[in-house]
Structure 1
Amino acid sequence: MKKTLTKFLLLLFICTLFFTNITIENVHAVPLLEAQGVVLMDGKSGEILYSQNADVQYEPASITKVMTAIVVLENTNLDDKVTIGTNPPLVDGSAIGIREGEVYTIEELLIAMLLESANDCAEALAEFVSGSNAEFGKLMTERAKELGCTNSVFKNPSGLHEEGHLTTANDMAKIMRFALNFDDFNRISRIISYQYVNHPYSDGTEKWATNRNNCYVDWSQWYYENLYCGKTGWTPEANHTYVATAVKDDEVLVASFLNAYNKDTQYTSVGELFNWGFDNFNSVKLFNKGDIVGEYQISDNTSIPLLTNKDIYYTLSANEEQNITTAFNYADKDYSESSIKKGDVLFDATLIVNGEKYTTLELLSGLDREYTTKIKIENTINKYASNKIIISIILILILSLCIYIYIRKRKLNKRRDFIRKKYNLDI
C-alpha cells in the first residue's frame, strides 16, 4: 500500500511539473496562487518568468481600464474638456457621481477611473473619444492587437460583464507593461487621493477619489512595499482580477491575475509572486537604444553604421552565468541608389542570443547620405568596372574608334596633298 501511495504521489508531482509552465529553468518553487490565469513577466525584457493558463480567456473586470487609459492617453490631451452626456451617470457598478452637463478634464476623469475604478468616468471618456461604448471597444480591441494581444476582445471601457468581453493573463501583462511607457498613467495610478474642488456632490459635500489598489496603499492588509502601480478588478462573473508592476533594485516585474475566487488569498499571493520573481531572476541590458551594432556597405568607399531602435534586455535566472553571445540576422537590401536620413529604418532584424531567436527590432541609419548625380555616375562606373566582358567591349570600341579616326585623318591628309600638288595650291 505504501509503495502504491509513493508511486501515486511521485506521478502527481511529475504531472504538476509538466503542466506548470515555468519558462526559465533552475529556479525555486513558485508560491501557491489563487488565480486561475497568471503571468509574471520581466518588465524590461518582456520575457515570461512564470505562467499558468496564460492564454486561456477570462473576463477581466475593471483591469480593462488599463487598456482604456492607454487608448485615451493616445487620443486626447489631459486638459481637454469633457461635457458629461446622458448615459455615463446611469452606468452600473462603481462610480464617482458625475452628473449630466458637468464639465471635467480628461485628467480628472482618468484619476477617478484609475483610483476609484469609476465606471461612469470610463464611459464618459469612451464617448468623448469614440462616441459610444461599442465603438470605443472596437478601438480598444484593435489597439490591443497592435500590441501583440491576439486573444483579447473588449466590448466596453469599464469591464462590466458583457458577452464576449474577454482577455488572457498573457495579454493583460503585455498591456500593463506597455502602459508603463506613459508617464501620466504611472503618475495618476500612484495618486493616493484627489479632491474635485470644482465638482462637489449635489448636497454640497466634498467629492474625493481615493486609491483602491489593495497592494499599493499602506493602510491595506495586503500592502506590498515594492508595488509601483496597478489596477484591481471584480465582478460576479469575472471574480477577482488584478494587474500590477513592482520595482526593486532596478528590476521591474509585471504580473497579471485572472479569475481568483478568494480575495484574501489572491492579494496575499501578489507580493509572494513578485518576491519569487525578484529572488530568482535579473535582467541584463544587452544594447542601449542607438548603439552601433553593425555597418551597411553602401558603396566601395561608404558605409553606414546600423543603430538599434530600442533598449534590449535579456533575463537570466539568479544563478545563471552571463555567457551571452549575440548576432543580428536581416535580409539584405540595395540602398546604393537611395538618399538616406539619419534615423531612417534600413532593416527589420532578428536578434539571435546564444544561438536562438530572441526578439525582433529595427536597425536604423546612423548618418545622412544624399544620392547625387556625381554618386550616380561613380556607381555606374564602379558597376561596369566589375564586369570584365563589358570593360573589354568598351575598350575595343574605344580602340576601334581611335583607329577609325586615325585612318580617316590619314585619308584626308593624302587627299589634301594630292589636290595641292595637282593644282599647285597652297592648302
Structure 2
Amino acid sequence: MRKALFIGLWLLANTVQATTAQPDPFPEVATAYLVELNGKAIWAKQPDRRLPPASLTKLMTALLVLERTRPDDIVTVTPSATHETGTRIGLKTGERFHVQDLLAAALLPSANDACQALADHLDGDETGFVARMNQRAHELGMRNTHFANACGHDKARHYSSAKDLSILAHALLKYPSLLDVTSQRKLQIATLDGQHRYILESKNALIGRYDGAIGIKTGYTPNAGKCLVAYAKRDGNAVLFIMLHGHDRWWDAVDVLDLAFDHVREMR
C-alpha cells in the first residue's frame, strides 16, 4: 500500500513538474538523503548539508585500508583499540589478525575496536590516521566532509554530506572484495594462532532480506540518528541510497529502493 501510494504521488508530481530534474518523493524519510540509479542521482534532499555520519565514517577507514594494505597483512591489536567505546567485539591487546578479518569486523557489526586497530596499523595513532582521512576526502572532492576520529563518534567538526558519501561509496565500489564482505549476514574470524574466535553479525537488516541488497554500511549515534548507505543490484541495475538522520530506516529504505527499481521500468 505504501509503495503504491508513493508511486502514484511520484507519477503525479512528475507530470506536473516535467520541467524539473526530479521531484522529491520522500521528503520525510531523513534530514538529508540521496538516491542514485546506475550512477545517476534521481532524487535528493539537502544532499550537501553537513551532518554527523556516525559509523558511515568507517567507509573512509575501509577505503584507506583497501588502498594501502593487502588482505593478508598482519595487524596487532593496540591498547588504544581495546579502550575504544561503543560497539566492540572485545579484542584483546596483542592479538594478531589478518587485515581482511578486522576490516570485516569494522564493517559488519561496526566494531570500533577493530576500526581503531586498523587505524593504528596504518598510521601508528588516531591523530595521524585522521589527518590521512581528511587528506583523502579532499583528494576525492568531498567538499562538505571533515573527520575528527576514525570510527564515527559524535564530535565537533566531524561531519559529512549525502553527496560526499556517494563519492566515497563509488570509490569503495571499485573493490569487489568489499561487497563480498558487506553482502554477508554472518562471518567468523579468528586470531592467527587460532586461540580466539569472533562471530560477526551484520547490522544491515536489508542483507539477506531485501532482494539484491549487497551493502554497504549502517550507522547510529544519538546525535547522528539513523544513517545508512544501502547498495542493491537487480537485473543489471544498481541503486545507491544514502540516508543521514533517518527515521523509520529499514521500512523507508525498502520503499526507496523499490521505487528506484520501478523507475527503471518507467524510463523504458
Length-normalised TM-score, structure 2: 0.86
Q: Distance in 2 between matches of 1:146 and 1:23?
A: 31
Q: Which amino acid aligns with 1:78?
A: P
Give the corresponding residue for 1:178: 171
The answer to whether the Cα contact below 8 Å between 2:96 and 2:191 also exists between their aligned partners in 1 is no
Give unpaired runs (5+ residues) of structure 1: 1-15, 219-223, 283-316, 320-427
The answer to whether the Cα contact below 8 Å between 2:70 and 2:99 also exists between their aligned partners in 1 is yes
Q: Distance in 2 between matches of 1:195 and 1:53?
A: 39
2:163 counterpart of 1:166: no
Alpha-carbon RMSD across the aligned residues, in angstroms, is 2.5
* Aligned counterparts, 1:267-416, within 5 A: 267-281=250-264, 318=267
The answer to whether the Cα contact below 8 Å between 2:120 and 2:126 also exists between their aligned partners in 1 is yes
Of structures 1 and 2, the larger Rg is shown by 1
Identify if the C-alpha distance between structure 1 residues 103 and 200 changes in structure 2 by more than 3 Å, giving closer, same or farther. Answer: closer
Give the corresponding residue for 1:212: 203
Shift of 1:76: 0.6
Identify if the C-alpha distance between structure 1 residues 84 and 33 changes in structure 2 by more than 3 Å, giving closer, same or farther. Answer: same
Q: Which amino acid aligns with 2:128?
A: E
2:75 pairs with 77, 82, 91, which one?
82
1:386-423, Cα deviation, whole Å (9 max, x unpaired): xxxxxxxxxxxxxxxxxxxxxxxxxxxxxxxxxxxxxx
Q: Distance in 2 between matches of 1:143 and 1:104?
A: 25
Q: Which amino acid aligns with 1:38?
A: Y
Shift of 1:148: 2.2
Q: Distance in 1 between matches of 2:58 and 2:46?
A: 22
* Aligned counterparts, 1:132-171, within 5 A: 132-171=125-164
Shift of 1:177: 2.1
| 3-state secondary structure, aligned to 1:87 | helix
2:101 counterpart of 1:108: yes
Q: Distance in 2 between matches of 1:53 and 1:194?
A: 36
Give the corresponding residue for 1:55: 48
The answer to whether the Cα contact below 8 Å between 1:31 and 1:276 also exists between their aligned partners in 2 is no
Give the corresponding residue for 2:230: 244
Identify if the C-alpha distance between structure 1 residues 318 and 193 changes in structure 2 by more than 3 Å, giving closer, same or farther. Answer: same
Shift of 1:196: 2.8
The answer to whether the Cα contact below 8 Å between 1:200 and 1:206 also exists between their aligned partners in 2 is no
The answer to whether the Cα contact below 8 Å between 2:27 and 2:45 also exists between their aligned partners in 1 is no
Length-normalised TM-score, structure 1: 0.55
Give the corresponding residue for 2:5: none
Q: Distance in 2 between matches of 1:63 and 1:229?
A: 12
Q: Distance in 2 between matches of 1:116 and 1:155?
A: 21
| 3-state secondary structure, aligned to 2:122 | helix
Q: Which amino acid aligns with 1:257?
A: M
The answer to whether the Cα contact below 8 Å between 1:227 and 1:246 also exists between their aligned partners in 2 is yes
1:348-375, Cα deviation, whole Å (9 max, x unpaired): xxxxxxxxxxxxxxxxxxxxxxxxxxxx
The answer to whether the Cα contact below 8 Å between 1:23 and 1:50 also exists between their aligned partners in 2 is no
1:144-189, Cα deviation, whole Å (9 max, x unpaired): 2222211111121110112111000111122112211101111111
| 3-state secondary structure, aligned to 1:196 | strand
Give the corresponding residue for 1:39: 34
Give the corresponding residue for 1:266: 249
| 3-state secondary structure, aligned to 1:233 | strand
Shift of 1:253: 1.4
Give the corresponding residue for 2:218: 232
Q: Distance in 2 between matches of 1:87 and 1:23?
A: 51
Q: Distance in 1 between matches of 2:56 and 2:245?
A: 12
Q: Distance in 1 between matches of 2:196 and 2:95?
A: 16
Q: Higher relative contact order by CA 8 Å / sep ≥ 6: 1 or 2?
A: 2
2:39 counterpart of 1:24: no
Q: Which amino acid aligns with 1:70?
A: L
Q: Distance in 2 between matches of 1:173 and 1:61?
A: 15
Q: Percent identity?
A: 27
| 3-state secondary structure, aligned to 1:267 | helix
1:71 pairs with 64, 74, 78, which one?
64
1:66-112, Cα deviation, whole Å (9 max, x unpaired): 11101111001111111111110011100111111111110110011
